[in-house]
Structure 1
Amino acid sequence: MRIIKWLAGTGLAALALNAMAAPPPDLAMTRFPNASTTFSTPVAIRAPNDGSNRVFIVQKGGTIRVVKNGTLLTTPFLTRAVTTSSESGLLGLAFHPNFGKPDLAHNTEFYIFYTRPAADERLGTSPDQVVARYTVPTPDSDVADTNGTIVLRIPDLAGNHNGGDIHFGADGYLYISSGDSGAQNNPHGFAECLWKKPADSNRNSCGTNPSGTQYYLLGKMLRIDVDTRGGTATADMCGSNGVNPLEYAIPASNPHTGTSNTCDEIWSHGFRNPWRWSFDRANGRMIIGDVGQGNYEEVTVEAAGIAGGLDHGWSRCEGRHYFTTSGSGTNCPATTSTIAPVIEYSHAAGDCAVVGGFVFRGPIAPMRGTYFYSDSCTGKLWWADSTLTPTWDAGGQNDTGLSSSGIYGFGEDQAGNVYVGQGNGQVFKLTSDFIFEDGFEQ
């Protein structure tokens, strides 16, 4: 490692410790785990909080691979059949907070989000999007049991706009993102509807049209309690359709539990396709990359500790601009009472689909608080200072200039290092020789 001297107690040291959250000048994308390893469409990189030094690579085709102590293991962690057409596939992985901890309950459990095979029974006209629970034989196992249990089902009518990213929050509940069904321009109003409705090309028929196949939980962020099982499903537990015995409960503090004819799993709504999102491990913020329609992409934030029930605006707004609501300009949230993005960018430069990333909380001290994200069409790797308020893009976007291939997903390991998964199968770790702590390089 290069030796770079920073003098504690001097103006230079103070400048280094109080600078904006930004990448160091030698930020690099280092091939992971080595220069010769290629994966198949890596859409997520995850690691349990178990001290095992393992990194799990989620491949869209249905296989999860394990990198342990820097070596790719020969046997996959899990392989299951999925539908892979369009944006469908194996899309999410979340380890139970107790995973790998022998003395705690649920220490062998993890959850995945995937599109069911086309031959499976379905609730809508397209294969279901589902959350399933799997286990490992022992907490330190590198190969999972092959039989899983479906926990939650979402009916769908197209192969795109699936969301599919899942994470456990600091509250111990599982959060799930879902897309608005794939129909362009949100003609059915699924993103706004808190209840059930058919694909009737009517945005205003939420809960009023009982005819036809009913769709629900689309264009949402969901929150469920996966540790409480076997209860009796209520009429407002929409995702429990076809799941018996019941595999989850509704947290009592979910925002719609006090009303009837609202799906109680819903945490927030008004999303088009929240394809990739994350929690900031330092403060619990939820940071969501929501793929736009034809003009604008956006990243929005929900602070930790809120009561839920926020409306993120689609399809009245696309980013900070009006879409189906009358008006012009960038003040859409001000007139619709929806959530304004912290980042918005247009398609003018060929960008077309935001990929939400992670706030860096790893060992490169000056980079802590830097949010990394991308666009899958141009492959640009951007960064933003997440300590800014109210927006992170007041001065425009910051391009690292490091990537030229489409990025499909991000991840972090137990230490907080950030990883990048590209559509060409390559996975990278963000690295730097500038590792400062207390004013000195380590």
Structure 2
Amino acid sequence: MKKILLSLLMGWGCISSAQTIALQTYVTGLNSAVEITHCGDNRLFVVQQGGLIRIIQNNALLTTPFLNISSLTTSSGEQGLLGLAFHPNYATNGQFFINYTNLSGDTVIARYTVSSTNPNVANPTGTVLLTIDQPYNNHNGGTLKFGPDGYLYIGMGDGGSGGDPQNFAQNMTVNLANPSRVFLGKMLRLDVNTTSGSLNYGYPPTNPYINESGKKEIWALGLRNPWKFSFNRLNGDLWIADVGQDVMEEINRVQAPLPNTGLNFGWKCFEGTSVFSTCTNTSGMIAPFAEYSHAATGGCSITGGYVYTGTLYPNMLNKYYFADLCQNRMGILNIATGAITYTPYFNGNNFFTSFGEDVNGELYITGGSSLFRITDTSMGSQNFAALGLSVAPNPSHGMVVLNNPKQYAIQALTLLDVSGKIIQTIQPEQSTLQSIDISNLSPGLYFLQLEKDGIRYTEKIIRE
């Protein structure tokens, strides 16, 4: 028992009486991890900046990479293999899309496919959709995601240097010498299920600049460096964390259904809500949903995350989780109030580069070489206790008893492992006591989840 509890305490080394968010080490052995995602099953895919996509399967990091494009990319500074998005119909068409910096320093969006013989290996050759000229080696954006409308969204930084010296984020004039630079500082939206002329993609007919040559891909403008953005998988809301200059970091929210009106997020006229540069026309520019200053927090570069939509941790619902590259802690944005709070500083020297979610909506975060699972250490007994329920003995060698003194009607009773995988579905007994056999489980942490009147409650169980 001491060995098991010691392992759990090491995984929960950041527990504080003020906060309940904790990190559990999920896998190690990564190298410059910058993206975490899934393809619709229980595997996790991790993008390494140097050009590899790795797979985590059954809680283990596979040795053979899913894809290796290290010969196609340069990974210095903010460049490299930066983004990965699986097609919504990946299970049938095997398509996925990547965002990387090529050997010339330009952004490339490319489509690849999975091997027909091995689901853990991709075909090595892809098809380029877009190449975007980059004037500098920073502010490349990097994230690409499929939205609820089925279109591919691509976040582009302003091209780099500092202060957007060529005003790319607000520029809507196509320069024939470098026509792709009009995409800098923009959010692009492509239809990857169609083609237009000689292009390997099509234009969504509702794109706001669909009738303007050279700009049909643009969906929104006024971004500085949207390093990470995400969609709420349940309601389709878009959350963009836009990295600031010297003063403010901002979080933008676009509620679904997503508009088609050419949104302008304000950079470089504004950095957050602070005026950065005098602009003659700022009408219609969108103020951030939330922001924080470098001076007040010690932050320097926001790492955008996700709104929690999982089922294991009810206390985490209706909150957006993010981090800052200069701080070894996590920010929590309350969606209802707009207020930001912070976890205590975590143990170790982690500087978080990316969040991700699995197929069940549970959240993960990486500091480059390790992948952590985000947990809520308060979600156990207090949630069951609210109903007058308890589980004992806990820890247990093999048999636990659910005590239901009020004989609540329970619609569902489920046992899950730490990855959210359902191990057993238990037929609820409408009685005071219900025995649950966990003797066949390996020693470790599990979750017992029940449903009453449409609400889920969860309890931690330790198998000795």
Q: TM-score category by the smaller chain?
A: 0.7 to 0.9
Within the alignment, does 1:115 sit opposite 2:68 as a pair? Answer: no
Contact kept, 8 Å, 1:224 with 1:265, in 2: the verdict is yes
1:5-24 alignment, distance < 5 Å: none
Partners of 2:106 and 2:58 in 1: CA distance: 36
Deviation, 1:275, is 0.4
Q: Counterpart in 2 of 1:383?
A: 332
**Residue of structure 2 aligned with 1:342, choices 277, 286, 289:** 289
Partners of 1:150 and 1:212 in 2: CA distance: 18
Q: Counterpart in 1 of 2:246?
A: 294
SS in 2 for 1:117: coil
Deviation, 1:76, is 0.6
Q: Give the number of aligned pairs.
A: 365
Percent sequence identity is 39
Any idea what the Cα deviations from partners look like across 1:12-39, whole Å, max 9, x if unmatched? xxxxxxxxxxx99543101113xxx221
SS in 2 for 1:256: coil
Q: Counterpart in 2 of 1:226?
A: 192
1:228-307 alignment, distance < 5 Å: 228-229=194-195, 231-232=196-197, 245-258=198-211, 260-261=212-213, 263-305=215-257, 306-307=259-260
- Greater radius of gyration (CA): 2
Partners of 2:67 and 2:224 in 1: CA distance: 30
**Residue of structure 2 aligned with 1:154, choices 123, 132, 139:** 132
Within the alignment, does 1:323 sit opposite 2:317 as a pair? Answer: no
SS in 2 for 1:251: coil
1:189-204 alignment, distance < 5 Å: 189-197=167-175
Change (3 A) 1:54 1:186: same
Partners of 2:177 and 2:58 in 1: CA distance: 55
Contact kept, 8 Å, 2:328 with 2:345, in 1: the verdict is no
Deviation, 1:401, is 3.4
Change (3 A) 1:293 1:191: same
Higher relative contact order (Cα pairs below 8 Å, separated by 6+ residues): 1
| Matched residue type, 2:260 | A
Deviation, 1:432, is 3.2
Deviation, 1:439, is 6.0
Within the alignment, does 1:144 sit opposite 2:96 as a pair? Answer: no
Deviation, 1:172, is 0.9
Partners of 1:111 and 1:154 in 2: CA distance: 15
Partners of 1:214 and 1:25 in 2: CA distance: 46
Within the alignment, does 1:29 sit opposite 2:23 as a pair? Answer: yes
Any idea what the Cα deviations from partners look like across 1:264-309, whole Å, max 9, x if unmatched? 1011010010001100112111101111111111111111122241
Deviation, 1:97, is 0.6
Deviation, 1:370, is 1.5
Q: Counterpart in 1 of 2:375?
A: 431
Partners of 1:148 and 1:211 in 2: CA distance: 27
Partners of 1:24 and 1:282 in 2: CA distance: 29
Change (3 A) 1:170 1:214: closer
Partners of 1:145 and 1:211 in 2: CA distance: 35
Change (3 A) 1:275 1:139: farther
Any idea what the Cα deviations from partners look like across 1:232-256, whole Å, max 9, x if unmatched? 1xxxxxxxxxxxx421000000011
Deviation, 1:399, is 3.0
| Matched residue type, 2:370 | Q
Within the alignment, does 1:132 sit opposite 2:110 as a pair? Answer: yes
Within the alignment, does 1:71 sit opposite 2:60 as a pair? Answer: yes
Change (3 A) 1:257 1:227: same
| Matched residue type, 1:412 | E
**Residue of structure 2 aligned with 1:173, choices 128, 141, 151:** 151
| Matched residue type, 1:399 | T
Q: Counterpart in 2 of 1:40?
A: 31
SS in 1 for 2:263: coil
Partners of 1:89 and 1:212 in 2: CA distance: 22
Partners of 1:299 and 1:40 in 2: CA distance: 28
Contact kept, 8 Å, 1:99 with 1:139, in 2: the verdict is no
Partners of 1:274 and 1:195 in 2: CA distance: 21
| Matched residue type, 1:302 | V
TM-score of the superposed pair, with normalisation by structure 1: 0.78
**Residue of structure 2 aligned with 1:355, choices 289, 295, 303:** 303
TM-score of the superposed pair, with normalisation by structure 2: 0.74
SS in 2 for 1:171: coil
Contact kept, 8 Å, 1:195 with 1:261, in 2: the verdict is no
